[in-house]
Structure 1
Amino acid sequence: MSRELARRIALTIGALLLFRLGTQIPIPGLDASRLASLPSFNDRLSLFSLGLIPYLTAAIFVRLLSVVWRGLSSLERSGEDGRRKVARATLGLTLALAAFQAYGIASTLISFPELVRTPDGWFVVTATASMVGGVFLLVWLSEQITHYGIGNGLALILSVGMLVSLPRDVAGIANVVRSGAVSGNLVIIHAVLWVVTIAVIVLVEGARRNVRVEFGAREVGARQLPARDAILPIKLNSAGFLIPVTVAPWIFFLPLALAGFVLGGDHPLVNAAYRHFQLGQPVHMILVSIAVFLLAFVYTAHVVDPEHTAKSLAQRGGRIPGVAPGEATADYLDRVVSLTTVVGAVYLTALQLIPEVFDLYGIGLPYSMVVDGGAALIVVCTILDLQTQVREVSLTNPGGVRR
């Protein structure tokens, strides 16, 4: 192991240990003895109780805005200065969302008897400030890991938060099996399902549709670059998971919330709609699956821009064999990306359906968290990214030159 790799791994481990330490520090003002009697709430009532959710929500909102607002999309691609402006806007929105959520939690806590030592306005202020500070500390830690450690900081913190619950999950499942409440065969079916799911995730995330590109000979300054062939890789899943699966329920629940505000929460139509949109209901499964499938195409079109790629190829003297440069190349890439995205969209839809199927058929197990295809996807992709970065650092000299 090289010294640089050891340094990066040590920094990453230290940052993750600091994250886990923060999840054990309760919000200031809570009664420690009362909190000790509620072990399942320790992480939820800690400095990091909000986690990275406000930041991820803000980032998703800004990313969606860039899909529909070309000016923001151009700003993101304009260089380092443009990306800094977008990052500042994301942090500003994070502050607003975190403050709103933290204030709501702090205001609710004072209504629990004996949980808060002094349930007054000062507790609400300090608790809100502590939780908002925890969000920004996590964002800072994730940036340190990304820049100076190994792996993607956001993904690592999310993955660690999911993985630490596994021992508790396994112990809980073992207890219900011993008590006879759950069949051992059902546990075996779950284990096989997750092994197959992880294998599919590894296969799909590593799969690429390679488009061959030819670059003609050209001069760059005083250098003469020879003609060469290259590969333009297109991922099967270019849309990721968070944006399609997070945004899909918004499409239905936001109009439903508006209807509840206009008609009243106790209106029969609103109540019936809410019942049908519960997790595991057939209507919810069908509509959300359609939304995830379509959003995978919409977001892929933003991430993989055929027109931008065709223009970049033309500027560098590249062309796809048998395809004319310019608009014809853009059309060809658009067809390839669309056909490839069909596989990725089906894959994402199947992953998000896993907990719904469990709930619909009553075959779930008592996980302490919502274990679903998205959680598995995040953890597996984080591990694959770690593997790639460890290999890259191991093969790179301190000066940035590959061995």
Structure 2
Amino acid sequence: MKKFITTIRNIFSIEELRTRILNTLGFLIIFRLGSFIVLPGVNPDQLPESADGIFGLLDSFLGGAFNNAAIFGLGIMPYISASIVVQLLTIAIPHFQRLQKEGESGRKRLTQITRVLTIIITLGQSIGYLTAYIPGEAVVVDPLFFKISSAIILTSGTMFCMWLGERITDKGIGNGISMLIMIGIISRFPNSLIFEFTSKGDQGGIILFVLEMVALFFVVMAVVALTKAVRRIPVNYAKAHVSGGRAYGGQRQYIPLKVNSSGVMPIIFAQALMFLPALFAQPFQDTDLGNYFITTFSNYQTPVYNITFAILIILFTFFYTAITVNPTEIADGLKRNGGFIPGVKPGKETSEYLDSVLTKITLPGSIFLAIVAILPAFATLAGVSPMFSQFYGGTSLLIMVGVILDTLQQIESYLLMRHYEGLMKSGKVKGRSEAAVV
């Protein structure tokens, strides 16, 4: 306990780190407050008590804002959808490929395009949300005026959430967009835990609850292992010179290739796409095809939903890994600095070798990621309540673990730069004792 208190004291003794943590907390508080401010013209007492199916899943990512008909009712999800579209365009359309390669100016242009597309997507989703979820008896003003004004407010709310995410990334700790999603998810955990405990009323139920918590612990450990797993590629550097009988410049380092290089983004992207079939099918719910899509993609326990979700995660894992890890750039960097992988020629062969290794470790990583993502369906079948089963894997757990680890690593780096002992008991995290090639 004393060591923990000392670590907290060290964290807040670093002015920049303290400022970033306080900024992050302030932005998150603003985000949570916006989840309880109801849209003008809505009678909250007439709203559904809880969202079901796909709406319930979306509400879990937004921390109740969707169910509350709040000004942040759509949260950051339209921005995620826009980011998916833009990143797909960077693969399919040469103009967007050129923008991606233009450095900072190209990234700024892509960011502007993403923002404009976010506005368009939010306007479309807001109309669907107001039509499909908010009942007519809950609207206390003119329906047409309500839809127009609320669509504008919801769009403004999403853009403000996007701004908050960018400010957290720039002025706070962690990835802002992922942080907003995580805080919405984690806000539901206490109520879910209490509900699960109280629902196991008798003595046998308490034992079952303990077993559920043990299973949850091992699932969390498996997700942490997946997030931290690294394949290290050894790299040698030629000796630069000899002076005074000692060789200088010769080093042995490594290239850390993560099993899950894409982090939580494939889950977020896949989940964003999983919302679309049911939303687009709402106007056709009276037809057999429309009803099939709504029924199938509104229930995360259906086989079609889970198979589709798993396939999307695997595809997005490969896609996001391909755009974030470039073997050719790594090989060129090694060649410029006189580094080489033992047994592999510098240049093209090094690039092909790295690409081969990356493919081999990404495949099992993506499959395991997909399995963890669909675990909530199996937890529900095993008797866990639907509310609590979301934390047995799936998007909720993966996002929470990924974002928390990323945030802790950033805090750890600040402590080490100031020569403080890190958050880990040993003062070391994986890979710190050896040099790494970035």
The whole-number CA distance in structure 1 between the counterparts of 2:305 and 2:139 is: 39
Partner of 1:331: 352
Aligned partner of residue 141 in structure 2, secondary structure: coil
Structure 1 residue 67, shift from structure 2 partner: 3.6
8 Å contact from structure 1 (residues 205, 381) kept in 2: yes
Residues 1:83 and 2:95 aligned together:
no
The whole-number CA distance in structure 2 between the counterparts of 1:205 and 1:185 is: 30
Map residues 37-186 of structure 1 onto 2, 5 A cutoff.
38=49, 43-44=65-66, 45-69=69-93, 71-108=95-132, 111-113=135-137, 115-178=138-201, 183-186=205-208
Change (3 A) 1:14 1:35: farther
2:375 alignment partner, one of 350, 354, 359: 354
Aligned partner of residue 87 in structure 2, secondary structure: helix
The whole-number CA distance in structure 1 between the counterparts of 2:93 and 2:372 is: 29
The whole-number CA distance in structure 1 between the counterparts of 2:252 and 2:97 is: 30
Partner of 2:229: 207
Deviations 1:334-361 (A, max 9, x none): 22112211331222121122023235x3
Change (3 A) 1:60 1:243: farther
Structure 1 residue 77, shift from structure 2 partner: 3.7
8 Å contact from structure 1 (residues 165, 368) kept in 2: no
Q: Which runs of 5+ in 1 are unaligned?
A: 220-224, 398-403
Partner of 1:318: 339
Residues 1:364 and 2:388 aligned together:
no
Q: What is the count of residue pairs matched by the alignment?
A: 381
The whole-number CA distance in structure 1 between the counterparts of 2:390 and 2:142 is: 32
Partner of 2:301: 280
The whole-number CA distance in structure 1 between the counterparts of 2:265 and 2:196 is: 28
Residues 1:11 and 2:23 aligned together:
yes
The whole-number CA distance in structure 2 between the counterparts of 1:369 and 1:86 is: 37
Partner of 2:38: 26
The whole-number CA distance in structure 2 between the counterparts of 1:111 and 1:248 is: 26
The whole-number CA distance in structure 2 between the counterparts of 1:104 and 1:392 is: 44
Deviations 1:237-276 (A, max 9, x none): 123344367449969x97xx89x99xx9436xx9789877
Structure 1 residue 103, shift from structure 2 partner: 2.2
Partner of 1:400: none
8 Å contact from structure 1 (residues 48, 134) kept in 2: yes
Amino acid at match of 1:338: T
Q: Which runs of 5+ in 2 are unaligned?
A: 1-12, 52-58, 242-247, 419-438
Residues 1:345 and 2:369 aligned together:
no
Change (3 A) 1:134 1:335: same
The whole-number CA distance in structure 2 between the counterparts of 1:71 and 1:235 is: 30
CA RMSD between the two structures: 3.5
8 Å contact from structure 1 (residues 155, 378) kept in 2: yes
Amino acid at match of 2:197: A
TM-score relative to the length of structure 1:
0.82
Change (3 A) 1:218 1:265: farther
Structure 1 residue 94, shift from structure 2 partner: 0.5
Q: Percent identity?
A: 28
The whole-number CA distance in structure 2 between the counterparts of 1:287 and 1:317 is: 45
The whole-number CA distance in structure 2 between the counterparts of 1:123 and 1:249 is: 26
Structure 1 residue 209, shift from structure 2 partner: 0.9
Map residues 257-268 of structure 1 onto 2, 5 A cutoff.
265-266=287-288
The whole-number CA distance in structure 1 between the counterparts of 2:403 and 2:296 is: 35
Deviations 1:363-389 (A, max 9, x none): 331417944432111111111112111
The whole-number CA distance in structure 1 between the counterparts of 2:42 and 2:395 is: 33
Amino acid at match of 1:75: L
The whole-number CA distance in structure 2 between the counterparts of 1:78 and 1:215 is: 31
